[in-house]
Structure 1
């Protein structure tokens, strides 16, 4: 069984996370996607919502979607005092599940192009496949020669490769273009605009109940 991890700040979780992931699962045959909330993301501003609030929104978003599960390892006390590095999470997953289990890590094209800034990025494929979701406005190729060569060496267009090997491939998925961002949602809420069509209804109601992302009075 091929399992996938989808990391993020999820501040808040929205359809731009969920819809491409659901499409991706259908395209490549994923049986489960574990959402992996970051505690201290090294490449992004710190979350506005608390850890407890982000977890509550994640649980509400996926409670009727059996495809999804939660992996909170990066929120545990030992991990929550410093930045969350993907490579360490993948190493820990491998140690727990063995070398023969199939694992994929889902990321957007924007994250793929920023990989040279990630900790030990060249070793990611020693532990997992990379499933790349398209992002509006981002090109498939990069001017970084080392990264481009690495992508070309490991790229496959055959989804079966992801099942035949436990790690080692990069797959560009034909996911829908969902031009939604958490930054946009937070800004809209701060400007008292509705975001009801951008995220699950239960999450939207929770945000309103908690008065999240509103201008501080």
Structure 2
């Protein structure tokens, strides 16, 4: 075989190899770029999803606070009485609300709905688990969101407690009690966790 034929043979063999090698590199770069783009897309979707559901959770908490505020205004307007509490509370109920409660003097006396919540009628001020935060709430006239904690009767919850102060005949404020909403933790958080899980987080 002559020298020219050997060179031609090498050239004929190397050219497909170079094409294959360069093609493989290009394909790898394209696949890597596509994978990175997909990862960025999923991450962006997850972040947007977290923000959206985070906003929903905040909205649910504010809705619970609004219920306690509404009950407070009713108590102020009626000098500490709420007639037909069950009817009023029933119209305020939502999927994420486990119960709506009144605690005159810090003792829970009215709960809607009562089913499964009977154990909730307690003296909040002297309760070993709740007493400290309740006393702080009263002393500072501050709404408190307490929890999450596990109730004896059912699951984990957040408790929104709003201290109510009325005025006596001399215009002096006095502690009437508390309006309360118990929020179901699984309901308020689970849809967010599920959504993030669906995006691989």
Asked if these proteins are the same fold (TM beyond 0.5), I'd say no
- With normalisation by structure 1, the TM-score equals 0.25
- With normalisation by structure 2, the TM-score equals 0.26
Q: Which has the higher contact order (CA 8 A, sep 6+)?
A: 1
Give the structure with higher Rg (CA): 2
More strand by share: 2
